[in-house]
Amino acid sequence: MGIGEDEVNDAEWIEQAVFTSAVTGRAAGYQIVAASPGIGERDLRELAAWGPSHDALLTSTPGAASINFHPLPSGAFCVSRTTPAGWEYSGRGGARVYTQSLVVPPAVLARFSNNPFALVRAALAGGSIRVHDDPPSRLTPFRLSGRALAVDRGLLGRLLVHPGPDWMGALVQAALGSRTLALIGGPPAEHIIAGVINCLPPECRTAFSFSTSLKFSSRRPFRIVALAHDAEEQRRAERLYDVTTLRITGDVPAAWMPVDAWPRLIQRAMQCRRTSLLASELSKSHLDVDLAGLSALGLELLEALEASLLDGPSPDEADPAPCVSATESAPPSPPTATASQARPAIERTQAHAAHARFEKTTLPTSSPTAVQAPSGSLKASCPAAQQRLSQLDDLVRESIYGDAESLRQLRSLWPLMRDELGDALQARSREAYLRYALAIWEEGMPPDRLRNPERAVQTLDVLCLLSDER
């Protein structure tokens, strides 16, 4: 999408530098061989320190590339692309590693929704990123027109199929909770890391430096990296450098199932194929949202998502996730988390104070006297089943009011009741109990309409359980 001529003229310059192996008047070997004049000395030293040298790429096959991103001392950001480019001049063998770094001002990166992948695509399309066989000693800065949407729904659609909603929630959970997260296996690391970036509000994305295909190095302390299939290297990284490794294969390990509100939002939105809702929310400006406030925003949007589901199962009409026929093979998608895997331990700090900052989605409201128990309108096939419906009424209410034993019993009774009710009554009962749970939550809301975060967490646990269709 283009921008106006005035905006192009007012855009800030993007400086650039090339780090590779060469013989120059200053030195021989890996060094900054070319740079534009607007890069300060501190940023130049940082670019040299992070520059990848011989054998730094995970693979040196033709077409291999690593997209890299990290902050610079000046406040600008380095967005770089590393590729193999010919052979080492020294004759020691192997491909010459060539890195072109773009020094991007914050305002320019913000135009691309703080998504380095979107900026690289625009720079490649405009011919601003390319390999110089013989780089000039002095490069020129350039302007980059255009902008990017907050979310690449096409990418999220592909990741919805593989590795799937549970893995995407787990990846966001791990990225938020790790000093350095190393990814092993799964779809291409570039797709996975770009997916994680797309699952974060633009205001939070610059906190996540990354490399998609450089070997792990302690002198390049990226926050998210890809790791080779080398058991010894994995053990060394974990033991010496506080690296968390995540092998993306099979089902999500229980320890990595989403716990915090934001990762649970990502998992739930993808499970319900509501990536359009996610894209819409991330397109809004939440200028006061940082990583510390992410749980509060996640809880707010989870409430909105669960409320929207009461309108019926209406997945994104134009969701770009590919369809796979019965005769085609596709990577398996991990199963949706069962009700017993619903976690009550959403991060609760800061949530209450933060609610007033975010735009509210109106939920169905009920006065205390209007809360009708579903068992009164749902007629089961036998007295025993009707009695269990009455028991469900009590368990739902007590669970929302914080009774842990009632929630445990509800997790056992609800799946049994779904099977007993039959298909016709099952759909009606699910909708009735979802509305009942929300009405109970609204029933206890104080006059100032500020939502109690602890009650909201308990309500979300019940809603997740009731909306599970398996």
- One pLDDT digit (tens) per residue for the chain, 470 residues: 444 444 444 458 999 999 998 877 677 789 999 999 999 999 999 999 999 998 899 987 878 999 999 999 999 999 999 999 877 666 566 788 999 999 999 999 999 999 999 999 999 999 999 998 887 878 999 999 889 999 998 899 899 999 999 999 999 999 999 999 999 999 999 999 999 999 999 999 999 999 999 999 988 999 999 998 777 777 777 776 788 999 999 999 988 999 999 999 999 999 998 888 888 889 887 767 889 889 999 999 998 888 888 765 555 544 444 333 222 333 333 333 333 333 333 333 333 333 333 333 333 333 333 456 777 777 666 666 677 777 788 788 778 777 777 787 788 777 777 666 666 677 777 778 788 877 777 665 544 444 556 667 777 777 777 776 55
Express each pLDDT in 398-456 by its tens digit.
787 777 777 877 887 777 776 666 666 777 777 787 888 777 776 655 444 445 566 67
Alpha-carbon distance of 45 to 125, in angstroms, equals 29
Go through the domains of the chain in sequence order and give each one's CATH number. 5-125 (3.30.450), 153-309 (3.40.50), 365-467 (no CATH)
C-alpha R_g of the chain: 26
Q: At what angle do helices 404-443 and 383-400 cross, to 10 degrees?
A: 80
- Give the chain's largest Cα–Cα span: 92
Q: For residue range 27-36, what is the model confidence (pLDDT) as tens digits? A: 778 999 999 9
Query: What are the angstrom distances between the C-alpha of 354 and each of 217, 296, 298, 447?
Result: 38, 6, 11, 18
Instruction: Provide the whole-model pTM.
Output: 0.66
In the DSSP assignment, the letter for residue 299 is H
Q: Are strands 95-104 and 15-23 parallel, antiparallel or unpaired?
A: antiparallel
**Angle subtended by helix axes 189-198 and 153-161, to nearest 10:** 120
Count CB atoms within 10 A of the CB of residue 107: 11
User: Rounded CA gap, 428 and 430, in Å?
Assistant: 6
d(Cα 330, Cα 340) in Å, to the nearest integer?
28
Does residue 415 contact residue 456 with C-beta atoms inside 8 Å?
A: no
How far apart are alpha carbons 163 and 185 in whole angstroms? Answer: 10
What is the per-residue burial (b if ≥16 Cβ within 10 Å, else e) of 444-464?
eeeeeeebbbebbbbbbbbbb
Q: Are the CB atoms for 83 and 64 separated by under 8 Å?
A: yes
Between CA 318 and CA 326 the distance in angstroms is 22
